[in-house]
Amino acid sequence: MVRILALAFVFSSFLAGAQVFGAPAREIVARQIGDLQCNVDRLSIVAGLATTQGTLKKLSQDLAHDPTSAASVQSAADSISGAQGAIGVIAKALLTGQTAPAEARNQVLGNLTAAHDTLAAINSTDSTASATLQKALSELNDSAEAGNGVVNNCK
């Protein structure tokens, strides 16, 4: 959670007009800092993944009686943590005036896809767990849409 708050602070610093170290060319600075929509998308994915992690904790509790499904939830949570780590790599690059590594973007995508596929494969007859699972999938989809927004709007 601390990592998520730190990333949110990083992106909010961009919104507040923080200086980029090393002052690269004007075009790179504009792309790295991004416009309003770009930064909204950045904040949305960071906040959305944090929210999804919280929902997955509840889902894990809901599925405590089903070890196989609970293990799948943990795997999805680990994938989301991997995506959050890759977002941290991207944020660090942006703060230091470097080009965000394409591999980190690929890691975000791969981890979000893995989390989605793992959650989508869970089949629970418990109505509470099913509702929590649908909420987690919806939050994850919203985060993925924000990630698509970053790719499309942060040029």
Tokens for 110, please give them: 């791969």
In the chain, % of residues over pLDDT 90: 65
Six token digits for residue 143? 């985060």
Q: What are the structural domain ranges in the chain?
A: 2-153
The type of residue at 41 is D
C-beta of residue 93 within 8 angstroms of C-beta of residue 87: no
How high is the pLDDT of residue 75?
98
The model's confidence at residue 70, banded by pLDDT at 50, 70 and 90, is very high
pLDDT tier at 32 (50, 70, 90 boundaries)? Answer: low
pLDDT band at 99 (very low <50, low <70, confident <90, very high): confident
Query: In residues, how long is the chain?
Result: 155
Q: How far apart are CA 1 and CA 4, in angstroms?
A: 5
Please check whether residue 91 is in contact with residue 123, taking contact to mean a CB–CB distance below 8 angstroms.
Answer: no
Above 90 in pLDDT, residue 12? no
Does the pLDDT at position 19 exceed 70?
no
To which H or E segment does residue 148 belong?
helix 127-153
Statement: the pTM of the whole predicted model exceeds 0.85: no
The CATH number of 2-153, from 1.20.1410, 1.20.120, 3.40.600, 1.10.3470, is 1.20.1410
Q: What is the pLDDT at residue 87?
A: 96
- Dist CA 50 CA 88 (whole Å): 13
- The rounded distance, in Å, linking the Cα atoms of 81 and 67 is 21
Residue 22, pLDDT above cutoff 60: no
Is pLDDT above 90 for 3? no
Q: What span, in angstroms and rounded, lies between the C-alpha atoms of 144 and 150? A: 10
- pLDDT-derived band at 20 (thresholds 50, 70, 90) equals very low
